[in-house]
Protein backbone atom coordinates (compact mmCIF):
# COMPACT_ATOMS: atom_id res chain seq x y z
CA UNK A 1 0.00 0.00 0.00
CA UNK A 2 1.31 3.43 -0.89
CA UNK A 3 -0.93 6.42 -1.14
CA UNK A 4 1.63 9.19 -1.37
CA UNK A 5 2.64 10.96 -4.54
CA UNK A 6 6.05 9.77 -5.70
CA UNK A 7 8.96 12.04 -6.43
CA UNK A 8 8.16 11.76 -10.16
CA UNK A 9 4.56 12.73 -9.52
CA UNK A 10 5.47 15.87 -7.62
CA UNK A 11 8.01 16.87 -10.25
CA UNK A 12 5.35 16.47 -12.94
CA UNK A 13 2.81 18.39 -10.89
CA UNK A 14 5.15 21.26 -10.17
CA UNK A 15 6.32 21.48 -13.78
CA UNK A 16 2.73 21.57 -15.03
CA UNK A 17 1.76 24.14 -12.42
CA UNK A 18 4.71 26.42 -13.22
CA UNK A 19 4.11 26.21 -16.93
CA UNK A 20 0.41 26.97 -16.69
CA UNK A 21 0.93 29.79 -14.22
CA UNK A 22 3.16 31.50 -16.80
CA UNK A 23 1.13 30.70 -19.87
CA UNK A 24 -2.55 30.82 -19.01
CA UNK A 25 -3.97 34.29 -19.45
CA UNK A 26 -7.62 34.61 -18.58
CA UNK A 27 -7.58 38.41 -19.00
CA UNK A 28 -9.34 38.37 -22.41
CA UNK A 29 -12.21 36.46 -20.77
CA UNK A 30 -12.58 38.96 -17.93
CA UNK A 31 -13.80 41.63 -20.31
CA UNK A 32 -17.59 41.89 -19.96
CA UNK A 33 -19.36 40.11 -22.78
CA UNK A 34 -16.34 37.98 -23.72
CA UNK A 35 -17.16 34.55 -25.09
CA UNK A 36 -15.29 31.32 -25.69
CA UNK A 37 -14.06 32.56 -29.07
CA UNK A 38 -11.80 34.93 -27.16
CA UNK A 39 -10.29 32.07 -25.16
CA UNK A 40 -6.66 31.69 -26.27
CA UNK A 41 -7.16 28.09 -27.33
CA UNK A 42 -4.84 27.87 -30.30
CA UNK A 43 -1.94 29.74 -28.77
CA UNK A 44 -1.97 27.65 -25.62
CA UNK A 45 -2.35 24.40 -27.54
CA UNK A 46 0.74 25.20 -29.61
CA UNK A 47 2.73 25.59 -26.39
CA UNK A 48 1.29 22.41 -24.86
CA UNK A 49 2.34 20.57 -28.00
CA UNK A 50 5.91 21.76 -27.55
CA UNK A 51 5.80 20.19 -24.09
CA UNK A 52 4.41 16.99 -25.53
CA UNK A 53 1.21 16.93 -23.52
CA UNK A 54 -0.93 15.49 -26.33
CA UNK A 55 1.35 12.45 -26.16
CA UNK A 56 0.48 11.79 -22.52
CA UNK A 57 -2.15 9.11 -22.99
CA UNK A 58 -0.77 7.70 -26.23
CA UNK A 59 1.09 4.41 -25.68
CA UNK A 60 4.81 4.36 -26.34
CA UNK A 61 4.30 1.88 -29.15
CA UNK A 62 2.51 4.65 -31.03
CA UNK A 63 5.12 7.28 -30.32
CA UNK A 64 3.46 8.57 -27.17
CA UNK A 65 4.57 8.87 -23.57
CA UNK A 66 2.24 6.15 -22.28
CA UNK A 67 1.72 7.95 -19.01
CA UNK A 68 -0.46 6.42 -16.33
CA UNK A 69 -3.92 7.64 -15.38
CA UNK A 70 -2.38 9.06 -12.23
CA UNK A 71 -0.01 11.23 -14.28
CA UNK A 72 -2.84 12.34 -16.52
CA UNK A 73 -5.00 13.18 -13.52
CA UNK A 74 -2.16 15.23 -12.05
CA UNK A 75 -1.84 17.29 -15.22
CA UNK A 76 -5.59 17.71 -15.60
CA UNK A 77 -5.80 18.92 -12.03
CA UNK A 78 -3.39 21.71 -12.86
CA UNK A 79 -5.38 22.53 -16.00
CA UNK A 80 -8.52 22.74 -13.90
CA UNK A 81 -6.78 24.88 -11.33
CA UNK A 82 -5.88 27.50 -13.95
CA UNK A 83 -8.95 26.92 -16.16
CA UNK A 84 -6.44 26.54 -18.99
CA UNK A 85 -8.44 27.03 -22.21
CA UNK A 86 -7.15 24.22 -24.41
CA UNK A 87 -8.55 21.32 -26.44
CA UNK A 88 -6.74 18.86 -24.18
CA UNK A 89 -9.89 17.25 -22.79
CA UNK A 90 -11.38 16.63 -26.24
CA UNK A 91 -8.09 15.25 -27.51
CA UNK A 92 -7.73 12.94 -24.51
CA UNK A 93 -11.31 11.77 -24.92
CA UNK A 94 -10.67 11.02 -28.59
CA UNK A 95 -7.45 9.21 -27.73
CA UNK A 96 -9.18 7.06 -25.14
CA UNK A 97 -11.93 6.23 -27.65
CA UNK A 98 -9.34 5.22 -30.23
CA UNK A 99 -7.62 3.03 -27.68
CA UNK A 100 -10.84 1.43 -26.50
CA UNK A 101 -12.63 0.91 -29.82
CA UNK A 102 -10.20 1.51 -32.67
CA UNK A 103 -8.69 -1.17 -34.90
CA UNK A 104 -4.90 -1.64 -34.87
CA UNK A 105 -4.78 0.09 -38.26
CA UNK A 106 -6.79 3.06 -37.02
CA UNK A 107 -4.59 3.36 -33.97
CA UNK A 108 -1.42 3.12 -36.02
CA UNK A 109 -2.67 5.77 -38.40
CA UNK A 110 -3.90 8.36 -35.94
CA UNK A 111 -2.24 7.96 -32.56
CA UNK A 112 1.24 8.97 -33.73
CA UNK A 113 -0.27 12.12 -35.21
CA UNK A 114 -1.81 12.96 -31.87
CA UNK A 115 1.43 12.30 -30.07
CA UNK A 116 3.81 13.97 -32.49
CA UNK A 117 1.77 16.65 -34.24
CA UNK A 118 -0.80 17.53 -31.62
CA UNK A 119 -3.70 16.40 -33.79
CA UNK A 120 -6.82 17.82 -32.13
CA UNK A 121 -9.67 15.45 -31.41
CA UNK A 122 -13.19 15.56 -30.01
CA UNK A 123 -15.68 12.98 -28.85
CA UNK A 124 -19.23 13.40 -30.20
CA UNK A 125 -21.63 10.90 -28.74
CA UNK A 126 -24.66 12.76 -27.38
CA UNK A 127 -28.10 13.02 -28.95
CA UNK A 128 -30.13 16.21 -28.47
CA UNK A 129 -30.88 15.21 -24.87
CA UNK A 130 -27.18 15.79 -24.14
CA UNK A 131 -26.77 12.33 -22.63
CA UNK A 132 -23.31 11.33 -23.80
CA UNK A 133 -23.86 7.75 -22.68
CA UNK A 134 -27.30 7.32 -24.23
CA UNK A 135 -28.08 4.14 -26.14
CA UNK A 136 -29.08 6.15 -29.18
CA UNK A 137 -27.64 8.90 -31.35
CA UNK A 138 -29.08 11.52 -33.69
CA UNK A 139 -26.63 10.54 -36.41
CA UNK A 140 -27.45 7.76 -38.88
CA UNK A 141 -24.80 5.69 -40.62
CA UNK A 142 -25.37 3.90 -43.90
CA UNK A 143 -23.15 1.56 -45.83
CA UNK A 144 -22.67 2.70 -49.43
CA UNK A 145 -22.14 0.52 -52.44
CA UNK A 146 -18.47 1.54 -52.58
CA UNK A 147 -17.99 0.06 -49.10
CA UNK A 148 -17.76 3.40 -47.33
CA UNK A 149 -19.95 4.54 -44.46
CA UNK A 150 -21.78 7.85 -44.77
CA UNK A 151 -23.04 9.72 -41.72
CA UNK A 152 -25.89 12.22 -41.49
CA UNK A 153 -27.44 13.94 -38.53
CA UNK A 154 -26.28 15.91 -35.52
CA UNK A 155 -24.21 15.32 -32.44
CA UNK A 156 -24.66 17.67 -29.53
CA UNK A 157 -22.69 19.53 -26.89
CA UNK A 158 -19.34 18.39 -28.26
CA UNK A 159 -16.45 19.69 -26.17
CA UNK A 160 -13.53 20.98 -28.24
CA UNK A 161 -15.35 20.39 -31.54
CA UNK A 162 -14.36 23.76 -33.05
CA UNK A 163 -10.91 23.23 -34.50
CA UNK A 164 -10.94 19.45 -34.02
CA UNK A 165 -9.08 17.71 -36.82
CA UNK A 166 -10.45 14.28 -36.03
CA UNK A 167 -13.83 13.52 -34.51
CA UNK A 168 -15.05 10.32 -32.93
CA UNK A 169 -18.75 10.38 -33.82
CA UNK A 170 -21.40 8.01 -32.50
CA UNK A 171 -24.00 7.01 -35.05
CA UNK A 172 -26.74 4.42 -35.35
CA UNK A 173 -25.86 1.56 -37.67
CA UNK A 174 -28.42 -1.22 -38.11
CA UNK A 175 -30.11 -0.19 -34.87
CA UNK A 176 -26.94 -0.20 -32.77
CA UNK A 177 -24.86 2.72 -31.55
CA UNK A 178 -21.39 2.58 -33.10
CA UNK A 179 -18.35 4.84 -33.22
CA UNK A 180 -16.86 6.31 -36.41
CA UNK A 181 -13.80 8.38 -37.14
CA UNK A 182 -14.59 11.50 -39.12
CA UNK A 183 -12.04 14.02 -40.29
CA UNK A 184 -12.77 17.55 -39.19
CA UNK A 185 -12.10 18.99 -42.61
CA UNK A 186 -14.15 16.37 -44.46
CA UNK A 187 -16.99 17.40 -46.72
CA UNK A 188 -20.36 17.64 -45.04
CA UNK A 189 -19.16 18.70 -41.58
CA UNK A 190 -20.55 21.82 -40.04
CA UNK A 191 -19.64 23.08 -36.59
CA UNK A 192 -22.20 25.23 -34.85
CA UNK A 193 -20.60 27.14 -31.98
CA UNK A 194 -22.61 27.19 -28.79
CA UNK A 195 -22.75 30.14 -26.44
CA UNK A 196 -21.63 27.74 -23.73
CA UNK A 197 -21.74 29.53 -20.40
CA UNK A 198 -18.34 28.22 -19.37
CA UNK A 199 -16.38 30.45 -21.71
CA UNK A 200 -13.06 28.81 -20.88
CA UNK A 201 -14.13 25.91 -23.05
CA UNK A 202 -15.15 25.74 -26.71
CA UNK A 203 -18.26 23.66 -27.32
CA UNK A 204 -20.35 23.08 -30.42
CA UNK A 205 -23.02 21.02 -32.08
CA UNK A 206 -21.61 19.02 -34.95
CA UNK A 207 -23.84 18.55 -38.00
CA UNK A 208 -22.85 15.92 -40.52
CA UNK A 209 -24.36 15.53 -43.95
CA UNK A 210 -23.32 12.54 -45.95
CA UNK A 211 -19.86 12.72 -44.41
CA UNK A 212 -17.46 9.82 -44.76
CA UNK A 213 -16.89 7.90 -41.54
CA UNK A 214 -14.47 5.11 -40.73
CA UNK A 215 -16.20 2.48 -38.58
CA UNK A 216 -14.39 1.51 -35.38
CA UNK A 217 -14.68 -2.17 -34.49
CA UNK A 218 -15.32 -1.76 -30.76
CA UNK A 219 -19.02 -2.02 -29.89
CA UNK A 220 -20.68 0.68 -27.87
CA UNK A 221 -21.71 -1.40 -24.86
CA UNK A 222 -18.21 -2.48 -24.07
CA UNK A 223 -16.51 0.76 -25.09
CA UNK A 224 -18.64 3.22 -23.21
CA UNK A 225 -17.97 2.02 -19.63
CA UNK A 226 -14.20 2.32 -20.13
CA UNK A 227 -14.59 5.67 -21.77
CA UNK A 228 -17.07 6.91 -19.20
CA UNK A 229 -14.80 5.94 -16.31
CA UNK A 230 -11.91 7.88 -17.83
CA UNK A 231 -14.08 10.89 -18.53
CA UNK A 232 -15.45 10.84 -14.99
CA UNK A 233 -11.88 10.84 -13.72
CA UNK A 234 -10.85 13.63 -16.08
CA UNK A 235 -13.66 15.95 -15.02
CA UNK A 236 -13.19 15.16 -11.35
CA UNK A 237 -9.46 15.85 -11.62
CA UNK A 238 -10.15 19.22 -13.23
CA UNK A 239 -12.66 19.97 -10.51
CA UNK A 240 -10.16 19.05 -7.80
CA UNK A 241 -7.78 21.65 -9.21
CA UNK A 242 -10.55 24.21 -9.51
CA UNK A 243 -11.51 23.65 -5.90
CA UNK A 244 -7.92 24.19 -4.82
CA UNK A 245 -7.73 27.46 -6.75
CA UNK A 246 -11.01 28.70 -5.31
CA UNK A 247 -9.91 27.76 -1.79
CA UNK A 248 -6.53 29.48 -2.20
CA UNK A 249 -7.97 32.65 -3.76
CA UNK A 250 -10.72 32.96 -1.20
CA UNK A 251 -8.38 32.33 1.72
CA UNK A 252 -6.03 35.04 0.48
CA UNK A 253 -8.90 37.48 -0.01
CA UNK A 254 -10.46 37.06 3.44
CA UNK A 255 -7.11 37.75 5.06
CA UNK A 256 -6.96 41.12 3.32
CA UNK A 257 -10.48 42.44 3.14
CA UNK A 258 -11.30 44.39 6.29
CA UNK A 259 -14.80 45.00 7.68
CA UNK A 260 -15.73 46.40 11.09
CA UNK A 261 -12.09 46.85 11.87
CA UNK A 262 -11.01 43.24 11.31
CA UNK A 263 -10.03 41.06 8.38
CA UNK A 264 -13.20 39.21 7.48
CA UNK A 265 -11.28 35.94 7.91
CA UNK A 266 -11.49 36.56 11.65
CA UNK A 267 -15.26 36.07 11.56
CA UNK A 268 -16.43 32.63 12.32
CA UNK A 269 -18.99 32.11 9.60
CA UNK A 270 -16.24 32.85 7.10
CA UNK A 271 -13.78 30.61 8.94
CA UNK A 272 -16.16 27.71 9.17
CA UNK A 273 -17.12 28.06 5.52
CA UNK A 274 -13.46 27.89 4.53
CA UNK A 275 -12.83 24.94 6.83
CA UNK A 276 -15.64 23.12 5.02
CA UNK A 277 -14.18 24.12 1.67
CA UNK A 278 -10.78 22.79 2.71
CA UNK A 279 -12.39 19.52 3.71
CA UNK A 280 -14.18 19.24 0.37
CA UNK A 281 -10.98 20.01 -1.49
CA UNK A 282 -9.03 17.34 0.35
CA UNK A 283 -11.82 14.82 -0.08
CA UNK A 284 -12.07 15.49 -3.81
CA UNK A 285 -8.35 15.23 -4.35
CA UNK A 286 -8.26 11.94 -2.42
CA UNK A 287 -11.13 10.50 -4.43
CA UNK A 288 -9.43 11.54 -7.68
CA UNK A 289 -6.15 9.86 -6.82
CA UNK A 290 -7.99 6.73 -5.85
CA UNK A 291 -10.03 6.74 -9.06
CA UNK A 292 -6.87 7.18 -11.08
CA UNK A 293 -5.29 4.21 -9.37
CA UNK A 294 -8.50 2.18 -9.65
CA UNK A 295 -8.35 2.40 -13.43
CA UNK A 296 -5.35 0.15 -13.34
CA UNK A 297 -7.48 -2.44 -11.46
CA UNK A 298 -10.62 -4.31 -12.51
CA UNK A 299 -13.61 -2.65 -14.14
CA UNK A 300 -15.87 -2.77 -11.12
CA UNK A 301 -13.35 -0.96 -8.91
CA UNK A 302 -12.77 1.58 -11.67
CA UNK A 303 -16.48 2.21 -12.15
CA UNK A 304 -17.18 2.67 -8.46
CA UNK A 305 -14.14 4.85 -7.86
CA UNK A 306 -14.58 7.05 -10.93
CA UNK A 307 -18.29 7.62 -10.44
CA UNK A 308 -17.63 8.35 -6.79
CA UNK A 309 -14.96 10.92 -7.63
CA UNK A 310 -17.15 12.65 -10.20
CA UNK A 311 -20.29 12.68 -8.03
CA UNK A 312 -18.42 14.06 -5.05
CA UNK A 313 -16.38 16.55 -7.07
CA UNK A 314 -19.46 17.97 -8.82
CA UNK A 315 -21.19 18.89 -5.63
CA UNK A 316 -18.10 20.03 -3.78
CA UNK A 317 -17.03 22.30 -6.65
CA UNK A 318 -20.51 23.79 -6.94
CA UNK A 319 -20.63 24.51 -3.19
CA UNK A 320 -17.16 26.01 -3.10
CA UNK A 321 -17.63 28.32 -6.07
CA UNK A 322 -20.92 29.52 -4.70
CA UNK A 323 -19.43 30.14 -1.28
CA UNK A 324 -16.45 31.88 -2.77
CA UNK A 325 -18.65 34.43 -4.54
CA UNK A 326 -20.46 35.04 -1.28
CA UNK A 327 -17.23 35.54 0.64
CA UNK A 328 -15.87 37.99 -1.89
CA UNK A 329 -19.05 40.01 -1.55
CA UNK A 330 -20.42 42.02 -4.44
CA UNK A 331 -17.04 42.29 -6.16
CA UNK A 332 -17.19 38.52 -6.54
CA UNK A 333 -20.34 38.87 -8.60
CA UNK A 334 -18.72 41.03 -11.27
CA UNK A 335 -17.59 39.83 -14.68
CA UNK A 336 -14.11 41.26 -14.13
CA UNK A 337 -13.33 38.78 -11.34
CA UNK A 338 -12.40 35.15 -11.95
CA UNK A 339 -15.01 33.82 -9.53
CA UNK A 340 -17.67 33.39 -12.21
CA UNK A 341 -15.35 31.48 -14.50
CA UNK A 342 -14.90 28.85 -11.78
CA UNK A 343 -18.60 28.92 -10.92
CA UNK A 344 -19.48 28.26 -14.56
CA UNK A 345 -16.83 25.58 -15.03
CA UNK A 346 -18.15 23.86 -11.90
CA UNK A 347 -21.66 23.83 -13.34
CA UNK A 348 -20.48 22.65 -16.75
CA UNK A 349 -18.33 19.87 -15.33
CA UNK A 350 -21.24 18.71 -13.19
CA UNK A 351 -23.61 18.40 -16.14
CA UNK A 352 -21.58 17.28 -19.13
CA UNK A 353 -21.64 13.59 -18.16
CA UNK A 354 -24.93 13.72 -16.29
CA UNK A 355 -25.71 14.83 -12.78
CA UNK A 356 -24.15 13.65 -9.54
CA UNK A 357 -27.38 11.78 -8.83
CA UNK A 358 -26.87 9.80 -12.03
CA UNK A 359 -23.37 8.80 -10.95
CA UNK A 360 -24.77 7.76 -7.59
CA UNK A 361 -27.35 5.64 -9.39
CA UNK A 362 -24.54 3.98 -11.31
CA UNK A 363 -22.84 3.21 -8.00
CA UNK A 364 -26.11 1.92 -6.54
CA UNK A 365 -26.52 -0.51 -9.41
CA UNK A 366 -22.92 -1.65 -9.16
CA UNK A 367 -23.29 -2.27 -5.43
CA UNK A 368 -26.53 -4.16 -5.97
CA UNK A 369 -24.92 -6.40 -8.53
CA UNK A 370 -22.11 -7.11 -6.11
CA UNK A 371 -24.69 -7.92 -3.46
CA UNK A 372 -26.53 -10.31 -5.76
CA UNK A 373 -23.37 -12.22 -6.66
CA UNK A 374 -21.85 -13.69 -3.52
CA UNK A 375 -18.11 -13.16 -3.34
Partner 1 sequence: MDFDLPAEDDPRRLEVRAWLQANPKPGYALLFDQGYTVPHWPRPWGLGANPELQLIIDDELARAGIRAPHHKNPVPINNCGQSLLRHGTPEQQERFLKPALACEEVWCMLFSEPSAGSDVGALRTTARREGDHYVIRGQKMWTSLADKAQIGVLVARTDPSAPKHAGLSQFLVDMKSPGITIRPIADMSGESGEYNEVFFDDVIVPADRLLGKEGDGWKLSMQQLQTERVALSRPGAIWGSGPSARELVDGLVAAGRFKNPLVRDEAVGLWIEGEILRLLALRSLSDRMNARESGPEGAVRKMVAAPHGQRVLDLAKRSQGVAGLVKNRDVLPMTQAERGPFSNWDHAFWWSPAVTLGVGTQEVLKNVVAERVLGLPREKDPTRHTPFNQIGKAQPTQKEAA
Which residues form the interface with partner 1 (CB under 8 A)? 1-6, 9, 70, 251, 254-255, 262-263, 265-266, 268, 270-272, 274-276, 278-279, 282-283, 286-287, 289-290, 292-294, 308, 311-312, 357, 360-361, 363-364, 367-368, 371
Of the candidates 43, 41, 75, 42, the residue with the CA atom closest to the CA atom of residue 56: 75
Nearer to partner 1, 185 or 268 (CB): 268
As measured in angstroms, the least distance from the Cβ of 364 to partner 1 is 5
Sign of the C-alpha dihedral, residues 251, 29, 71, 6? negative
SS3 259: strand
As measured in angstroms, the least distance from the Cβ of 231 to partner 1 is 18
Nearer to partner 1, 46 or 364 (CB): 364
Nearer to partner 1, 220 or 293 (CB): 293
As measured in angstroms, the least distance from the Cβ of 104 to partner 1 is 30
DSSP calls for 157-200: EEET-TT-SEEEEEEEETTEEEEEEEETTSTTEEEEE---S-TT
As measured in angstroms, the least distance from the Cβ of 14 to partner 1 is 15
As measured in angstroms, the least distance from the Cβ of 52 to partner 1 is 22
Enumerate residues 6+ apart whose C-beta is below 8 A from 201: 36, 39, 85, 89, 159, 160, 345, 348
Nearer to partner 1, 196 or 267 (CB): 267
As measured in angstroms, the least distance from the Cβ of 38 to partner 1 is 34
E runs forming strands in 174-267: 176-183, 189-193, 203-215, 258-259, 262-263
Enumerate residues 6+ apart whose C-beta is below 8 A from 336: 30, 32
Between strands 166-173 and 121-124, the pairing is: parallel
Nearer to partner 1, 31 or 275 (CB): 275
As measured in angstroms, the least distance from the Cβ of 311 to partner 1 is 6
Nearer to partner 1, 231 or 313 (CB): 313
Between strands 262-263 and 203-215, the pairing is: unpaired
Nearer to partner 1, 61 or 275 (CB): 275
Amino acid sequence: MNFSLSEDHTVLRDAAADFLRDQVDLAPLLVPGADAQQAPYDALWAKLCELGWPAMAVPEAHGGLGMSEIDVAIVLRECGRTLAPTPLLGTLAGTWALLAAGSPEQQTLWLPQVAEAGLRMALATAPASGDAGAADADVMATLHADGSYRLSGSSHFVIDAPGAQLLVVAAMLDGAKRLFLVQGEADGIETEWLAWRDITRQVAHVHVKDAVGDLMPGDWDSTWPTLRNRLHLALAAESAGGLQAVLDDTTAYVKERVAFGRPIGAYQSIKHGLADMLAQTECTQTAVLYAAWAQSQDERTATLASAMAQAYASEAYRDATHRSIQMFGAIGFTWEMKNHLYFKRARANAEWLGSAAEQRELIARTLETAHATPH
